[in-house]
Protein backbone atom coordinates (compact mmCIF):
# COMPACT_ATOMS: atom_id res chain seq x y z
CA UNK A 1 0.00 0.00 0.00
CA UNK A 2 1.51 3.30 -1.13
CA UNK A 3 -0.26 6.64 -0.81
CA UNK A 4 0.57 9.85 -2.65
CA UNK A 5 2.69 10.92 0.32
CA UNK A 6 4.41 7.54 0.36
CA UNK A 7 5.34 7.93 -3.29
CA UNK A 8 6.97 11.31 -2.64
CA UNK A 9 8.91 9.95 0.34
CA UNK A 10 10.10 6.85 -1.49
CA UNK A 11 11.13 8.80 -4.57
CA UNK A 12 13.14 11.28 -2.46
CA UNK A 13 14.90 8.48 -0.57
CA UNK A 14 15.68 6.62 -3.78
CA UNK A 15 17.04 9.80 -5.32
CA UNK A 16 19.29 10.41 -2.32
CA UNK A 17 20.58 6.85 -2.51
CA UNK A 18 21.40 7.29 -6.20
CA UNK A 19 22.97 10.76 -6.12
CA UNK A 20 24.22 11.15 -2.53
CA UNK A 21 24.30 14.32 -0.51
CA UNK A 22 21.55 15.77 1.66
CA UNK A 23 17.80 15.73 0.95
CA UNK A 24 15.08 17.51 2.92
CA UNK A 25 11.41 16.41 2.94
CA UNK A 26 9.14 18.90 4.70
CA UNK A 27 5.47 18.58 5.59
CA UNK A 28 2.91 17.72 8.25
CA UNK A 29 3.75 14.70 10.36
CA UNK A 30 0.28 13.12 10.38
CA UNK A 31 0.31 12.11 6.71
CA UNK A 32 2.09 8.77 6.84
CA UNK A 33 5.62 9.92 6.02
CA UNK A 34 7.02 8.04 8.99
CA UNK A 35 5.31 4.80 8.00
CA UNK A 36 6.41 5.11 4.37
CA UNK A 37 10.05 5.83 5.26
CA UNK A 38 10.34 3.14 7.90
CA UNK A 39 8.61 0.56 5.71
CA UNK A 40 11.01 1.25 2.83
CA UNK A 41 14.03 0.99 5.13
CA UNK A 42 12.84 -2.25 6.71
CA UNK A 43 12.30 -3.79 3.29
CA UNK A 44 15.77 -2.73 2.12
CA UNK A 45 18.12 -2.97 5.13
CA UNK A 46 21.14 -3.27 2.85
CA UNK A 47 20.48 0.20 1.38
CA UNK A 48 18.56 2.30 3.93
CA UNK A 49 18.53 2.73 7.70
CA UNK A 50 15.67 4.48 9.51
CA UNK A 51 16.35 6.73 12.52
CA UNK A 52 13.86 8.68 14.62
CA UNK A 53 15.77 11.72 15.88
CA UNK A 54 15.37 11.90 19.67
CA UNK A 55 13.90 15.17 21.04
CA UNK A 56 16.87 15.72 23.34
CA UNK A 57 19.61 18.30 23.58
CA UNK A 58 22.60 16.00 24.12
CA UNK A 59 24.79 14.53 21.41
CA UNK A 60 25.06 11.08 23.01
CA UNK A 61 21.40 10.13 22.44
CA UNK A 62 21.67 11.25 18.81
CA UNK A 63 24.81 9.27 18.02
CA UNK A 64 23.48 6.21 19.85
CA UNK A 65 20.29 6.34 17.77
CA UNK A 66 22.41 6.24 14.60
CA UNK A 67 24.53 3.47 16.08
CA UNK A 68 21.46 1.36 16.90
CA UNK A 69 20.21 1.69 13.33
CA UNK A 70 23.55 0.35 12.09
CA UNK A 71 23.51 -2.47 14.63
CA UNK A 72 25.04 -3.13 18.03
CA UNK A 73 24.76 -1.88 21.58
CA UNK A 74 26.30 1.57 22.12
CA UNK A 75 25.26 2.40 25.70
CA UNK A 76 28.74 2.05 27.14
CA UNK A 77 30.48 4.03 24.39
CA UNK A 78 31.39 7.70 24.57
CA UNK A 79 30.54 10.13 21.77
CA UNK A 80 33.98 10.09 20.18
CA UNK A 81 34.07 6.30 20.35
CA UNK A 82 30.72 6.07 18.53
CA UNK A 83 31.64 8.57 15.82
CA UNK A 84 34.97 6.85 15.20
CA UNK A 85 33.08 3.67 14.35
CA UNK A 86 30.07 5.00 12.44
CA UNK A 87 31.74 7.70 10.33
CA UNK A 88 33.67 5.24 8.10
CA UNK A 89 30.43 3.32 7.48
CA UNK A 90 28.51 6.44 6.49
CA UNK A 91 31.28 7.92 4.35
CA UNK A 92 31.57 4.71 2.37
CA UNK A 93 28.20 5.55 0.75
CA UNK A 94 26.89 2.00 1.08
CA UNK A 95 23.95 3.05 3.27
CA UNK A 96 21.52 5.97 3.19
CA UNK A 97 20.44 7.40 6.53
CA UNK A 98 16.76 8.37 6.73
CA UNK A 99 16.16 10.66 9.70
CA UNK A 100 12.53 11.23 10.67
CA UNK A 101 11.53 14.16 12.97
CA UNK A 102 14.52 16.09 11.63
CA UNK A 103 13.33 19.26 13.39
CA UNK A 104 14.86 17.71 16.51
CA UNK A 105 18.29 18.13 14.94
CA UNK A 106 18.18 21.77 16.00
CA UNK A 107 19.12 22.58 19.61
CA UNK A 108 16.20 22.15 21.97
CA UNK A 109 17.44 24.68 24.56
CA UNK A 110 19.09 28.10 24.48
CA UNK A 111 18.37 28.55 20.80
CA UNK A 112 19.83 32.04 20.68
CA UNK A 113 23.23 30.88 21.87
CA UNK A 114 23.33 27.20 20.89
CA UNK A 115 25.33 25.75 18.03
CA UNK A 116 23.51 23.19 15.82
CA UNK A 117 26.09 20.49 16.30
CA UNK A 118 23.94 17.65 15.00
CA UNK A 119 23.29 19.36 11.68
CA UNK A 120 26.87 20.51 11.34
CA UNK A 121 28.07 16.95 11.88
CA UNK A 122 25.63 15.57 9.28
CA UNK A 123 26.71 18.18 6.75
CA UNK A 124 30.35 17.27 7.27
CA UNK A 125 29.49 13.60 6.66
CA UNK A 126 27.65 14.34 3.41
CA UNK A 127 30.63 16.35 2.22
CA UNK A 128 32.71 13.20 2.70
CA UNK A 129 30.47 10.73 0.89
CA UNK A 130 27.56 10.06 3.28
CA UNK A 131 23.94 9.96 2.05
CA UNK A 132 21.33 11.55 4.31
CA UNK A 133 17.60 12.14 3.84
CA UNK A 134 15.84 14.36 6.39
CA UNK A 135 12.06 14.20 6.99
CA UNK A 136 10.82 17.14 9.04
CA UNK A 137 7.68 18.91 10.14
CA UNK A 138 6.80 22.41 8.94
CA UNK A 139 8.67 23.96 11.89
CA UNK A 140 12.09 22.97 10.56
CA UNK A 141 13.12 26.41 9.26
CA UNK A 142 11.40 28.20 12.14
CA UNK A 143 14.05 26.80 14.48
CA UNK A 144 16.93 27.77 12.20
CA UNK A 145 16.82 31.55 12.57
CA UNK A 146 17.68 31.75 16.30
CA UNK A 147 20.77 29.60 15.72
CA UNK A 148 22.13 32.09 13.20
CA UNK A 149 23.19 34.27 16.13
CA UNK A 150 25.62 31.59 17.27
CA UNK A 151 28.00 32.40 14.37
CA UNK A 152 26.96 29.24 12.52
CA UNK A 153 27.43 29.49 8.77
CA UNK A 154 23.80 29.32 7.64
CA UNK A 155 24.55 29.77 3.90
CA UNK A 156 26.66 26.62 4.07
CA UNK A 157 23.59 24.71 5.24
CA UNK A 158 21.49 25.97 2.32
CA UNK A 159 24.20 25.03 -0.15
CA UNK A 160 24.45 21.54 1.33
CA UNK A 161 20.83 20.62 0.58
CA UNK A 162 20.80 18.97 -2.80
CA UNK A 163 17.06 18.29 -2.99
CA UNK A 164 14.00 19.65 -1.19
CA UNK A 165 10.52 18.10 -1.31
CA UNK A 166 7.21 19.43 -0.01
CA UNK A 167 4.47 17.05 1.14
CA UNK A 168 0.81 17.80 0.40
CA UNK A 169 -1.37 19.28 3.12
CA UNK A 170 -3.75 16.31 3.19
CA UNK A 171 -4.50 12.90 1.75
CA UNK A 172 -7.34 12.09 -0.60
CA UNK A 173 -10.26 9.92 0.50
CA UNK A 174 -8.91 7.21 -1.80
CA UNK A 175 -5.54 7.27 0.00
CA UNK A 176 -7.25 7.12 3.38
CA UNK A 177 -9.35 4.19 2.21
CA UNK A 178 -6.16 2.39 1.18
CA UNK A 179 -4.78 2.93 4.67
CA UNK A 180 -8.00 1.52 6.15
CA UNK A 181 -7.70 -1.50 3.84
CA UNK A 182 -4.12 -2.04 5.03
CA UNK A 183 -5.24 -2.02 8.66
CA UNK A 184 -8.45 -4.05 8.16
CA UNK A 185 -7.96 -6.46 5.22
CA UNK A 186 -11.32 -8.14 5.83
CA UNK A 187 -13.32 -4.89 5.65
CA UNK A 188 -15.49 -4.19 2.63
CA UNK A 189 -14.88 -1.33 0.23
CA UNK A 190 -17.84 0.57 1.66
CA UNK A 191 -16.53 0.15 5.20
CA UNK A 192 -13.07 1.36 4.17
CA UNK A 193 -14.58 4.41 2.52
CA UNK A 194 -16.68 5.07 5.64
CA UNK A 195 -13.56 4.92 7.80
CA UNK A 196 -11.78 7.27 5.38
CA UNK A 197 -14.58 9.83 5.58
CA UNK A 198 -14.56 9.47 9.36
CA UNK A 199 -10.81 10.22 9.39
CA UNK A 200 -11.32 13.41 7.38
CA UNK A 201 -13.59 14.80 10.08
CA UNK A 202 -11.52 13.52 12.99
CA UNK A 203 -9.04 15.70 14.87
CA UNK A 204 -6.52 12.85 14.78
CA UNK A 205 -6.90 12.46 11.00
CA UNK A 206 -4.72 9.57 9.83
CA UNK A 207 -4.14 8.31 13.36
CA UNK A 208 -7.89 7.84 13.80
CA UNK A 209 -7.83 5.01 11.23
CA UNK A 210 -5.37 3.08 13.36
CA UNK A 211 -7.50 3.74 16.45
CA UNK A 212 -10.66 2.48 14.72
CA UNK A 213 -8.81 -0.59 13.46
CA UNK A 214 -7.50 -1.47 16.92
CA UNK A 215 -10.94 -1.07 18.48
CA UNK A 216 -12.66 -3.15 15.78
CA UNK A 217 -10.07 -5.92 16.16
CA UNK A 218 -10.53 -5.82 19.94
CA UNK A 219 -14.31 -6.20 19.61
CA UNK A 220 -13.93 -9.11 17.18
CA UNK A 221 -11.41 -10.88 19.42
CA UNK A 222 -13.63 -10.35 22.42
CA UNK A 223 -16.52 -11.99 20.53
CA UNK A 224 -14.32 -14.91 19.47
CA UNK A 225 -14.15 -13.91 15.81
CA UNK A 226 -11.10 -13.55 13.57
CA UNK A 227 -12.65 -11.08 11.14
CA UNK A 228 -14.30 -7.78 11.92
CA UNK A 229 -17.94 -7.22 11.00
CA UNK A 230 -19.47 -3.94 9.80
CA UNK A 231 -21.07 -3.63 13.22
CA UNK A 232 -17.63 -3.89 14.86
CA UNK A 233 -16.39 -1.06 12.65
CA UNK A 234 -19.39 1.17 13.42
CA UNK A 235 -19.03 0.56 17.15
CA UNK A 236 -15.29 1.26 16.87
CA UNK A 237 -15.92 4.60 15.13
CA UNK A 238 -18.44 5.58 17.82
CA UNK A 239 -15.91 4.67 20.49
CA UNK A 240 -13.11 6.68 18.88
CA UNK A 241 -15.41 9.64 18.26
CA UNK A 242 -16.49 9.67 21.91
CA UNK A 243 -12.89 9.41 23.06
CA UNK A 244 -11.83 12.30 20.80
CA UNK A 245 -14.72 14.44 22.04
CA UNK A 246 -13.83 13.86 25.69
CA UNK A 247 -10.17 14.61 25.00
CA UNK A 248 -11.01 17.83 23.15
CA UNK A 249 -13.27 18.97 26.00
CA UNK A 250 -10.57 18.23 28.59
CA UNK A 251 -7.95 20.12 26.60
CA UNK A 252 -10.29 23.08 26.13
CA UNK A 253 -11.08 23.14 29.85
CA UNK A 254 -7.40 23.00 30.76
CA UNK A 255 -6.59 25.79 28.31
CA UNK A 256 -9.33 27.99 29.76
CA UNK A 257 -8.16 27.29 33.33
CA UNK A 258 -4.56 28.10 32.42
CA UNK A 259 -5.41 31.59 31.23
CA UNK A 260 -4.56 34.26 33.86
CA UNK A 261 -7.58 35.74 35.56
CA UNK A 262 -7.90 39.40 36.37
CA UNK A 263 -7.82 40.15 40.07
CA UNK A 264 -10.55 42.12 41.81
CA UNK A 265 -8.30 45.14 42.07
CA UNK A 266 -7.53 45.00 38.36
CA UNK A 267 -11.25 45.11 37.58
CA UNK A 268 -11.74 48.42 39.46
CA UNK A 269 -11.92 51.22 36.90
CA UNK A 270 -9.09 53.69 37.07
CA UNK A 271 -10.42 57.12 38.00
CA UNK A 272 -9.03 60.22 36.41
CA UNK A 273 -6.66 62.25 38.53
CA UNK A 274 -8.39 65.26 40.17
CA UNK A 275 -7.64 68.57 38.56
CA UNK A 276 -6.05 71.40 40.49
CA UNK A 277 -8.48 74.03 41.86
CA UNK A 278 -8.62 77.30 39.99
CA UNK A 279 -6.08 79.90 41.00
CA UNK A 280 -7.01 82.56 43.60
CA UNK A 281 -8.16 85.72 41.94
CA UNK A 282 -7.34 89.20 43.15
CA UNK A 283 -10.28 91.19 44.40
CA UNK A 284 -13.89 90.15 44.11
CA UNK A 285 -14.51 86.70 42.54
CA UNK A 286 -16.02 86.73 39.11
CA UNK A 287 -19.66 85.82 38.72
CA UNK A 288 -20.18 82.09 38.29
CA UNK A 289 -16.77 81.20 39.72
CA UNK A 290 -16.42 79.37 43.01
CA UNK A 291 -14.15 81.28 45.37
CA UNK A 292 -11.27 79.52 47.00
CA UNK A 293 -10.86 78.91 50.74
CA UNK A 294 -9.58 81.86 52.83
CA UNK A 295 -5.91 82.09 53.51
CA UNK A 296 -4.37 81.64 56.97
CA UNK A 297 -4.46 85.37 57.86
CA UNK A 298 -8.13 85.65 56.93
CA UNK A 299 -8.92 82.66 59.14
CA UNK A 300 -7.20 84.36 62.08
CA UNK A 301 -9.27 87.54 61.58
CA UNK A 302 -12.50 85.55 61.49
CA UNK A 303 -11.62 83.67 64.69
CA UNK A 304 -10.84 86.99 66.40
CA UNK A 305 -14.26 88.42 65.53
CA UNK A 306 -16.05 85.28 66.73
CA UNK A 307 -14.16 85.09 70.04
CA UNK A 308 -14.15 88.78 70.71
CA UNK A 309 -10.41 89.09 70.86
The predicted-structure confidence for 57-80, as pLDDT tens digits, reads as follows 889 999 999 999 999 888 888 999
**Distance (Å, rounded) from C-alpha 218 to C-alpha 1?**
23
pLDDT score for 285: 41
The pLDDT, as a whole number, for residue 291 is 41
The string of pLDDT tens digits covering residues 4-30 is 999 999 999 999 999 999 999 999 988
**253-262: per-residue pLDDT in tens?**
877 776 665 5
- The lowest-confidence range among 5-14, 209-218, 234-243, 265-274 is 265-274
Is the pLDDT at 277 greater than 70, yes or no? no
Instruction: Give the pLDDT band (50/70/90) at residue 275.
Output: low
Rounded distance between C-alpha atoms, residue 267 and residue 93, angstroms:
67
Q: Closest Cα partner for 206 from 54, 31, 80?
A: 31
Residues 99-110 pLDDT 10s: 999 999 988 776
Q: Per residue in 122-159, pLDDT tens?
A: 999 999 999 999 999 988 877 776 676 666 666 777 88
Spatial contact of 98 and 49, defined as CB atoms under 8 Å apart: yes
In this prediction, what percent of the chain has a pLDDT beyond 90? 62
**Alpha-carbon gap, residue 171 to 30, rounded angstroms:** 10
Q: Which domains occur in the chain, in start order?
A: 4-166 (3.40.50.300), 173-249 (1.10.8)
| H helices present in the chain, as ranges | 4-19, 33-43, 59-70, 79-91, 117-126, 154-160, 173-183, 189-201, 206-222, 230-258, 264-267, 296-307
The pLDDT of residue 151 is 63
Residues 204 and 63 sit within 8 Å (Cβ to Cβ)? no
Angle at Cα 250 formed by Cα 244 and Cα 254, nearest 5°?
Answer: 145
How far is it, in rounded angstroms, from Cα 111 to Cα 105?
Answer: 12
3-class secondary-structure state, position 96: strand
Amino acid sequence: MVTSVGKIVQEAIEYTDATGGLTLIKGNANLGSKYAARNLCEQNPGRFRFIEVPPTNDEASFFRAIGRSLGGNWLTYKNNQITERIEPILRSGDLTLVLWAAQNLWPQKNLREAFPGRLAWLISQTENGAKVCLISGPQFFMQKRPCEKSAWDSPLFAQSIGNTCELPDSLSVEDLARVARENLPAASDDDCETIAIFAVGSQRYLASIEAVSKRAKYLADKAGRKEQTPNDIRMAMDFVNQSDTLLAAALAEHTAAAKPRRSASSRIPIMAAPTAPPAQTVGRPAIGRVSTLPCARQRDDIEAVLTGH
